[in-house]
Amino acid sequence: MADGNSSDEDFSDDWVLYSHRPGWADIEPLPQDDGENPVVMIQYSEKFNDVFGYLRAIISRQEKSERALELTKDAAKLNAANYTVWQYRRDILKDLNADLYEELSYIGKVIAENPKNYQVWHHRRVIVEWLDDPSSELTLTESILDMDAKNYHAWQHRQWVIKKYNLFDDELQYVDRLISEDMRNNSAWNERFFVLKHGGFTPEVLEREINYVMTRVGLIKNNESPWNFLRGLLQQGTGKLTQFPSVIDFCEDLYNDGIRSPYLLAFLVDLYEERYFEVLRTTGGNVDEAEEYRVKVQDLCESMANQHDKIRCKYWRYIAENFRRKAEAHINADGGRNGV
């Protein structure tokens, strides 16, 4: 069984069809109703038809018993993505007042076999909420992320449990390890931002994180993840890309050293456009300085379109044209006093 696909492979050789079990003789299985004229008939296996025929019958009777609970387990083996299977299993668990820690152990094993299946993660969340016990969740998600560090479902569950139960304390340390192992792990960068946002972007935090991300960019320049993280940081505080001179110096030093990462160049386009309008808005703005930024924006856009990001050449020409129009509108609104 893998990620919700129907499979007979998880059953032992001595597994017996429900139709052959004396303990189920009182149940008449309900076949699947595909209507009078089904467009495409799915050829289910004998085992699949058997299990789900009995499951439909049990649900129609609203039977909530130990045997029904075991039946849902077999149904989940055949199709772990079936919402009805998990919902009815939860109904049975409640009715039987079942051991939820035993269920937590069971669903942990199912998740390990189906780590990218929404329904199994949702079932896990519900059981954790019923128990009001998140003590195993960070360990579980860490084990899944060790297999695939970018598993969206594991990250979603991890963020949910951290936020709901206030488990932020050691998360930065965990994320730092993941980033150190793979600096291109966008999920880990996203998690870092998630944790920081909870604590608040104080000036001290911003300065620390900007130094942190610039160090990582310095190690791998052509890495989109830390560039996105840097932009996210700079949207805090004043919200301006130019608010930290150290960032400007860092980016310009990279450019002057011959680095032509498209992420660096895109950042510089936005930074120089911002600086252009800042200069023009300044009383008695320096016309020559503004003109330098205008030329830089245009040249960088052309460089991206023609060499460093050719697949998006139309986008970069649009950016250049849009900048030209905004600059022209600003000058016209200003009565041409700056003469740029």
Distance CA 278, CA 241 (A): 11
Residue in the structure block whose two tokens are 């793979």: 182
User: Annotated catalytic residue: which of 73, 77, 94, 116?
Assistant: 116
Helix 245-256 × helix 262-281 angle, to 10°: 130
Distance CA 183, CA 177 (A): 10
In the structure encoding, which two tokens stand for residue 186, read together? 């966008």
Neighbours of 185 (CB within 10 A): 18
- Helix, strand, coil tally for the chain in percent (to 5): 70, 0, 30
Between the CA of residue 1 and those of 67, 68, 105, 144, 154, what are the distances in Å?
22, 21, 18, 16, 18
Report the Cα 119 to chain-centroid distance in Å: 17
Instruction: Respond yes or no: is residue 296 known to be catalytic.
Output: no
Residues 6+ apart with CB under 8 A from 229: 189, 192, 193, 213
* Catalytic residue annotation: 116
